[in-house]
Amino acid sequence: MDLTPIQLLWFILIAVLWIGYLALEGFGFGVGMLLKILPKSEKERRLALNTIGPHWDGNEVWVLTAGGATFAAFPEWYATMFSGMYLALVLVLVCLIVRICAIEWRKQINTEAWRRGWDVAHTASSWIVSVLWGVAFANLVQGMSIEVGRYDKGAFTAVDPAAAAGSLAENHHYLTGGFLSLLTPFTLLGGLVTLTLFLSHGALYLAIKTTGDLRDRAKAFAAKSAVVAAAVTGAWGLWAQLAYSGNALSALPLALCALCLAATALLIAKGDEVKAFIAHFAGIAMAVVFIWFAIFPDAMKSSIDGRYSLTLSQAAATAPTQTIMTIAAVVFVPIVLAYTVWSYRVFARRLAVDQIPDAPVGLDPKRIREFDAR
């Protein structure tokens, strides 16, 4: 079955949603990972958190929309991916919840132990999520232990690969390799890609949003981490292109990604962290585009036999469903983009440590349960 234009459109739109999430929330994860590294005082940690405070919850909407769009536009893709990666995605969800609690609850109680505990939780969850996202996307490129068949009384029976495409009325795609099959040298290197990219993205964001010593430390860290991120991403991208990509055109976004990351390092060396951040943003975007080119025209590739792969046309919802979704996207996506741009413009100015009040925030732990009758 050939891919229709509207199916191709939604494949592209889902990529755009992931670009929005990884390129925007990527610096939020980076700030979280650096929370115990770059800030040297309580006021500097509060300053770092204030830089992402107006944006982190809006950035999380991108991943929710990406998941919802996949569910509606390509339900078979959603079902196969979310069931096959169930344990990994549950871990991602738990870490995201912990991170939200750490951001929102840190300021509620005025004790050093309380704040330190939530800072550790914030940092740990940011590190774990940053690795897991890379492992997940690397699995899409590498292919997973997917077979076509059915479960009968708990036992899986696979159909012959040659008959897989014609048997989908009675059979489905399943990940039969288990959780550990997701962890390979290639996918773990993919986890290092997102980890290093988010670290340098977060450092650059702190450099453009703060002043003083914290900004200087962030620039120095970004100068080193950007080089590491470019090297790791380049190594993984070449491996992916040569070993797993069935699309020669994917070399183009890979080359553009390399140019953007190289430009990032050069711009940091010149002291222009704003342009460096933009170049790094573009590098992350091109990395997502590369992944989408590398898996096309499949939604999920099978590492067992290519005939077991789930193609986009097989995974797609009905044309009326995608048509209604397209109408909604035409109306609401520009509104969301406009609001996102507006929010970043409103909170565009740099923040300084001097703007952080000396008075501690939060309730006195000795008076939490007191009731004022007045």
Tell me: the pLDDT tens digits for 26-45?
999 999 999 999 999 889 99
In this structure, which CATH number among 3.40.50, 1.20.1630, 1.20.120, 3.90.550 belongs to the domain 5-143+190-351?
A: 1.20.1630
Q: How far is CA 370 from the centre of its chain?
A: 43
Q: Where are the domains of the chain?
A: 5-143+190-351
Phi-psi region of 178 (alpha: psi -120 to 50; beta: other; left: phi over 0): left
Percent of the chain with pLDDT strictly greater than 90? 54
State yes or no: pLDDT of 373 exceeds 60.
Answer: no
Average pLDDT, the chain: 89
Predicted TM-score (pTM) of the model is: 0.91
State yes or no: pLDDT of 307 exceeds 90.
Answer: no
> 10 Å Cβ neighbour count for 99?
24
Average pLDDT, integer, range 191-216: 94
Q: Would strands 298-300 and 172-175 be described as parallel, antiparallel, or unpaired?
A: unpaired
State yes or no: pLDDT of 224 exceeds 90.
Answer: yes
**What is the structure's pLDDT at 370?**
62
Q: How far apart are CA 220 and CA 271, in angstroms?
A: 10
**What is the structure's pLDDT at 265?**
93
User: 374: pLDDT confidence band, cut at 50, 70 and 90?
Assistant: very low
Average pLDDT, integer, range 4-27: 93
Average pLDDT, integer, range 63-74: 90
Tell me: the pLDDT tens digits for 121-135?
999 999 999 999 999
Closest CA to 284 of 134, 91, 89, 61: 134
**157-162, Cβ contacts within 8 angstroms, sequence gap of 24 or more:** 161/305, 161/307, 161/308, 162/307
What's the chain's length in residues? 374
